Structure 1
Amino acid sequence: MRVACHASGHLRGLALGLALCLTQAPGVAAAMDFSDPDWPCIQRKVQNLSASLMWPAPVTRTPLSPEAKDLVETLSLRRVSLEEADAHVRAFAERNSRVDGQLLGNIFYGVFDNIAETRQRLIAGIARYSRSQIALSSRIEGARVEMAKLSREKSQDFDRIDKLEEQIDWDERIYRERSQALTYVCETPVLLEKRAYAIAQILLKHIPD
C-alpha cells in the first residue's frame, strides 16, 4: 500500500480515505480469525456471503430492463440511505404493474452481486494493508537495531544516527495512524453485509400479496 493512500486529518476522514484506497486497489462476525495471519481485524473474516440466506425463495436469473438495472445500481450505493432505498423501490413498484417476487428477487441478486464484489475487494485490500503494516514494523525494528549498533561505535556517524531517528519517528507515526484507521475500516465488510440484508428486506416488503 503506497503512502498516497494515507491522509492526515481527522481519524474518520483517514479511515474513509483508506477504505476508498482498499476498494479501488486491483485485485461478516466477531472474533479474531487466527487462521489467516494476514487478517488484522477483530471482526471474524467471512470470505463469502450467501444470497440464498438473505432471499427466502428460489430465483431464476433473467435479464433486467434498463429501469430495473438503474434501480440495482442505486440500491447498491452506500450513500443512498435505507429510507431513500425504500422510496426508490416503492416508486419502481408503482410504475411497473408486473412487479412480482421473481423480478424483485432478480433486483436483489443484482444488488447482492455488486455489494459482494465491493466487499471482496475490501477484504483483499485489508489483507494487503496488513502485510504493509508488518513490513513497516520490520523496517522500524531494523532501523532501531542499526541505530543502537551505530551508537555503540567509538567513532559515531551522527548524520546517519539522526537520519535513522527521523525515519523511525516518521514510520512510527504512520504505523499508529494506519492502525487507528484500520479499526474503522475493519467494520466495513460487516456494514456491507448488513446493507445487503436490509435491501433484501425492503424488496421483500414490496412483493405483491
Structure 2
Amino acid sequence: MARMSLVRSLAVVAMLTPSVNARAANTDPDWPCIQRKVPQLSLGQIWNGPELPPAAKDLSKDPGISALVEEVAARRIPIAEAQKKIKDFAASLPAEQLAPKMAMLVQGMFDHMDAERSHVISGISRYARKQLEMAAALRKAASDVDALRAKPDAD
C-alpha cells in the first residue's frame, strides 16, 4: 500500500515537472506568445557544420562579404536568387580563400539575422506592453464612468 502511494506520488511529480520547468523558462511578463521566448540564438543552434574560426567574425576586413550579407539577407529577395548569388560568390573565390570567406559569410548571415530577430522580438514585447497599458487605461476610464453613473445626480 505504501509502495503504491509512493509510485503514484512519483508519477504525479513526473507529470508536473515539465510544465513547471516550461513556466519557469518563460519569465518575461511582456512576452505574449505561447512559444518560449529565446532572446538570442547561438550559431550552434542552427549550424551543424564545423566550428567557425575566430577570424570569421571580422567582416569589417571584407566589404564584399558585408555587402553580400546585406543583399542576400533582405526579405524581399527570393531564396533561389540568394542561393545563386552565394554560389556565384563562392565560384569567384580562389580555392585557398573559399573556406575562410564562406565561414565569414555564414557568420555574417547569422549575426545579421539574429540582430533582425532581436529587433522583432523587442517590437513584440513593446507592443504587448502597450496593449496592457491601454487595457489598464480603458479599465480605469470605465471605472470612472461607472462612478459618475452611480452618483444620484447622474443623467
Structures share a fold, TM > 0.5? yes
Of 52, 63, 69, the residue aligned with 1:59 is: 52
Shift of 1:124: 1.8
Shift of 1:102: 2.5
Alpha-carbon separation, structure 2, partners of 1:118 and 1:34? 21
Q: Is the 8 A contact 2:69 2:109 kept in 1?
A: yes
Q: Is the 8 A contact 2:41 2:114 kept in 1?
A: yes
| 2:32 is equivalent to residue 40 of structure 1 | yes
RMSD: 2.1
* Structure having the larger proportion of residues in helix: 2
| 2:139 is equivalent to residue 145 of structure 1 | no
| Aligned position for 1:70 | 67
Alpha-carbon separation, structure 2, partners of 1:149 and 1:41? 35
The percentage of counterpart residues that share the same residue type is 29
SS in 2 for 1:42: coil
Kindly provide the amino acid, as one letter, of the partner of residue 51 in structure 2: P
| Aligned position for 2:115 | 117
Q: Is the 8 A contact 1:59 1:105 kept in 2?
A: yes
Listed as ranges, the gaps of 5+ residues in structure 2 are: 1-21
Aligned residues: 127
| Aligned position for 1:171 | none
| 2:85 is equivalent to residue 92 of structure 1 | no
Kindly provide the amino acid, as one letter, of the partner of residue 50 in structure 2: A
Length-normalised TM-score, structure 2:
0.72
Length-normalised TM-score, structure 1:
0.55
Q: Structure 1 residues 77, 84: CA separation in 2 closer, same or farther (over 3 Å shift)?
A: same
Question: Which one has the largest radius of gyration?
Answer: 2
Shift of 1:129: 1.6
Of 31, 41, 44, the residue aligned with 1:49 is: 41
SS in 1 for 2:30: coil
Map Cα deviations across residues 20-51 of structure 1 (whole Å, 9 max, x no partner): xxxxxxxxxxx886422110012221111111
Q: Is the 8 A contact 1:68 1:107 kept in 2?
A: yes
Alpha-carbon separation, structure 2, partners of 1:71 and 1:128? 31
The residue correspondences of 1:173-192 to structure 2 (distance < 5 A) are: none
Listed as ranges, the gaps of 5+ residues in structure 1 are: 1-30, 159-209
4+ residue runs over 4 A deviation: 31-34
Shift of 1:105: 1.4
Alpha-carbon separation, structure 1, partners of 2:124 and 2:153? 44
Kindly provide the amino acid, as one letter, of the partner of residue 126 in structure 2: R
| 2:140 is equivalent to residue 154 of structure 1 | no
- Taking CA–CA contacts closer than 8 Å with sequence separation of 6 or more, which of the two structures ends up with the larger relative contact order? 1
Map Cα deviations across residues 91-142 of structure 1 (whole Å, 9 max, x no partner): 1122223352322111110111111111112212221221111110101111
Kindly provide the amino acid, as one letter, of the partner of residue 37 in structure 1: P
Q: Is the 8 A contact 1:76 1:115 kept in 2?
A: yes
